Structure 1
Amino acid sequence: MARLKAFDEDQALDSAVDCFWARGYEASSVRDLAEAMGIGSASFYNAYGDKRELFRRSLERYANRSMRERIARIEARHAPKQAIEAFLAEIIERSVKDPDCKGCLLVNSALDVATRDAELGRLVAGYLDEIRAFFRRNLEAAARQAQVPADIDPATISAHLLGVVLGIRVLARTGAKRRVLDSVAQPALALLEMAP
């Protein structure tokens, strides 16, 4: 009979996410992580194997609880064009209300880890591609509903919008104010407007 874990794995993963998010992958030692998670090193290695595996699981948890939750909630509540606008507005709102200027764990990881670890880089790129796919899906739906210009190229504009999100999140880490973040988003949103 398998032994039950002596800790709450959801809570432990949330703590690992917070640690990686605050310190980054490289600067988070196994000791830092185990301490943040409230577990001993033996439990750490038994449950996760190593820091890299814990990081993979932390990214998945973050993606589920942040990015995927946001996409599902916004798509359920808004028409396609408004979903894109709401997504960017929420990213800006979260950025300006973050007193620690942590940015986004996925974007931070793209800058911190992806260049040194090809496998983790592909993992992070896959998560970011889900955001691009959200934009494309909603651009295509908005075009079918005549909410955006008929000649809009969903593939190109969705990639552009992903770049805007990345730019906003990186600028937010430097403490950029709302007006700066809004000025990054506005030209992209203007592409969605119908010609007079």
Structure 2
Amino acid sequence: MPRNKSYSDDIVLGRAMQVFWNYGYEATSVRMLEKEMNINQFSIYSSFQNKKNLFVESIRNYREYVKKHRFQVLLQKDAGLAELEQFLQNSVQKVNQNDSSRGCLVVNTAAEIGNKDEDIAIEINRYYDFIREMLKNVLLNAVSKGEVSPNTDVEKQASFFLGVMQGLSVAKKTMDKNQLADFIAVAIKQIK
């Protein structure tokens, strides 16, 4: 007879995401996950089969997390260049002590694992596709509003700004706010 779970998969997945975000995939042990998720190893394997599946689910969970907590302004229907510039500036001005030193879970994972694991690489690319699509919508709005030239190659600029976001995620771990402001100013200036 199957046992009833005494925990919510969503809650323990959120906790696992935080552990992976703090320590990375390789440095995170099942023991650490047990402690932070507040469930035993059997329950982890019962719900997620293995550490890698738990990690892939954590990346998916992270995508939903950033939609709610980071990208709301860029996901607005009419967000344009002004919102993109403000978002980039806010990401370095209002440095959240918890999140800034950790950077972005997906950028960290791309640096740590890259294409070494196909399943993880697929999930990283799904996250980047989400960001790229969001940026394309922002840039299409910017063209419609006359904030940028109608000749703007929105596809290429979306990829460029995805790279800017990745770079900022890493750079804000060590660069000062003036250097980060210069980074943003040059990125915005090139599209105007």
Instruction: Tell me the SS of whatever aligns to 1:25.
Output: coil
Q: TM-score, normalised by structure 1?
A: 0.87
One-letter amino acid matched to 1:35: K
Contact 2:25–2:109 (8 Å) recurs in 1: yes
Contact 1:103–1:170 (8 Å) recurs in 2: yes
For each residue in 1:14-71, what CA deviation from the matched residue of structure 2 results, as whole angstroms up to 9, or x when unmatched?
A: 2111110111001111111111101111111111110011001111111101146533
- 2: CA distance, partners of 1:66 / 1:134: 12
Name the residue aligned to 1:62. 62
Name the residue aligned to 1:110. 110
- 2: CA distance, partners of 1:79 / 1:8: 35
Superposed CA RMSD in Å reads 2.1
| Structure 2 residue runs without a partner (length 5+) | none
- After TM superposition, list the pairs within 5 Å mapping 1:168-187 onto structure 2: 168-173=168-173, 175-187=174-186
| Structure 1 residue runs without a partner (length 5+) | none
What's the offset of the Cα at 1:142?
Answer: 1.5
State the percentage of identical aligned residues.
28
For each residue in 1:74-116, what CA deviation from the matched residue of structure 2 results, as whole angstroms up to 9, or x when unmatched?
A: 332864222322331233245x332671101011011112231
Q: TM-score, normalised by structure 2?
A: 0.89
Q: How many residue pairs align between the two structures?
A: 191
Contact 1:110–1:125 (8 Å) recurs in 2: no
Contact 2:85–2:184 (8 Å) recurs in 1: no
Instruction: Could you list the structure 1 runs, at least 4 aligned residues long, displaced by more than 4 angstroms after superposition.
Output: none
CA distance 1:108–1:12, shift in 2 (3 Å): same
- 1: CA distance, partners of 2:106 / 2:145: 32
